[in-house]
Structure 1
Amino acid sequence: MTNAGLRRLVADSGEQRSWVSLRTDLVTALLGVWFGIGLMIDAWAHTNLTELETFFTPWHAAFYSGFAAVSGWIIWQVWRNVRTGRQGLAAVPMGYLAGLVAIPAFAAFGLVDMIWHTVLGIETSIDILFSPSHLGLIVTMMLIITTPLRSAWTAPDVGERPTLGRLLPALVGLAFATTLVSLFLSYGDALQYGPMGIVQAFSDVEQGPSADRLAAAMVISNVVTLAPVLLLVRRWRLPFGSVTLMYAVGVLMPGAQTAFENLPILLTFVVAGLVSDLLIRWLRPSGARRGAYWAFAGLSAFATWSLYLAVASVTAGRLPDVPELWTGAPIVAGLLGLALGALFLPNALVTAEAGAERA
Structure 2
Amino acid sequence: MATQPTTVRGRLFTQTGSKPLIGGSSFDAYFLFAILWFESGTFLDAWAHNNIPRLETFFTPWHAVLYSGLIAAATMIFAPIFINHRRGATWREAIPRGYELTVLGIGLMFIVGVGDMIWHVLFGVEQNIDALFSPTHLAGMVCIGLAFAGPLRAIYQRSKAPSGFGEGLLLTLAVASLLVFIVNVSQNASLYVNFWPTTTPVGENEGQLLAVLSFVFQAMLFTGLTLYVLRRFPLPIGYATIVLTLIAIPLSTMRGHYLMIPISLIAGILVDVAYFYLKPSPQRATQFRLYAVVAAATLYAVYMLTLVFTMTVVWTVHMTIGSVVVVGILGWLLSYLVLPGQQPEESIKTHIDQ
TM-score normalised per structure 2: 0.87
Q: Deviations over 1:11-35 (max 9, x none)?
A: x935246542322211111111111
Amino acid of the residue matched to residue 213 of structure 1?
A: L
Residue in structure 2 matched with residue 323 of structure 1 by the alignment: 317
Residues 48-87 of structure 1: pairs in structure 2 closer than 5 A: 48-87=51-90
Q: Are 1:288 and 2:283 an aligned pair?
A: yes
8 Å contact from structure 1 (residues 106, 137) kept in 2 = yes
Q: Could you tell me how far 1:84 is from its partner in structure 2? A: 0.7
Gap runs ≥5 in structure 2: 13-22, 344-354
8 Å contact from structure 2 (residues 197, 313) kept in 1 = no
| Seq. identity, % | 26
Q: Are 1:175 and 2:170 an aligned pair?
A: no
Question: Of the two structures, which has the highest relative contact order with CA contacts closer than 8 Å and spacing of 6 or more?
Answer: 1
Q: Could you tell me how far 1:119 is from its partner in structure 2? A: 0.9
Partners of 1:61 and 1:17 lie apart in 2 by 39
Q: Deviations over 1:187-228 (max 9, x none)?
A: 32122123xx52343xx4224643223222212221122222
Residue in structure 2 matched with residue 332 of structure 1 by the alignment: 326
Q: Could you tell me how far 1:167 is from its partner in structure 2? A: 2.9
Of residues 89, 114, 119, the one that matches 1:116 is: 119
Gap runs ≥5 in structure 1: 1-11, 350-359
Of residues 44, 47, 50, the one that matches 1:41 is: 44
8 Å contact from structure 2 (residues 50, 128) kept in 1 = yes
Q: Are 1:97 and 2:117 an aligned pair?
A: no
TM-score normalised per structure 1: 0.85
8 Å contact from structure 2 (residues 197, 315) kept in 1 = no
Residues 1-359 of structure 1: pairs in structure 2 closer than 5 A: 13=2, 15-16=4-5, 19=12, 20-156=23-159, 158-159=160-161, 162-194=163-195, 197-201=196-200, 204-207=201-204, 209-258=206-255, 261-316=256-311, 318=312, 320=314, 322-347=316-341
Q: Deviations over 1:72-108 (max 9, x none)?
A: 0111221221111212211112112111122210100
The number of equivalent residue pairs is 329
SS of the equivalent of 1:51 reads: coil
Q: Deviations over 1:36-81 (max 9, x none)?
A: 1111111111111122111111010000011111110111221221
Cα gap change, 1:155/1:208 in structure 2, threshold over 3 Å: closer, same or farther? closer
Alignment root-mean-square deviation, CA: 2.1
Partners of 1:302 and 1:97 lie apart in 2 by 35
